[in-house]
Amino acid sequence: MRLAELFSRTLKADKIEFVGYDGSRSGPADAEVRIEIRSPFALSYLSRYRTA
């Protein structure tokens, strides 16, 4: 499973396009919202994010 597909399945987002630094894409290309993870560092940052 590639990065964008993992985000799409985890968040169960049908109307969001995900683009991974590994070249993967998931979701509709004409989506109003696009989340692009451009580096492994960005993924690491997101994985450590904690809410208060």
45 CA to centre of own chain: 13
List, run by run, the mean pLDDT of 10-residue segments along the chain (52 residues): 83 87 92 93 83 64
What DSSP letter does each residue of the chain carry, written as one string?
--HHHHHHHHHT-SSEEEE-TTS-EES-TT-SEEEE--SHHHHHHHHH----
Task: Give whole-number Cα distances, 13 to 16, 18, 52, in Å.
Answer: 6, 9, 24
The pTM assigned to this predicted structure is 0.76
- What is residue 24's predicted lDDT score, i.e. its pLDDT? 94
Dump pLDDT digits (tens) for 13-27: 788 999 999 999 999
What average pLDDT is seen over the chain? 87
In the chain, where are the structural domains located? Answer: 3-48
Joined together, the tokens standing for residue 43 give 């993924």
Amino acid at 42: A
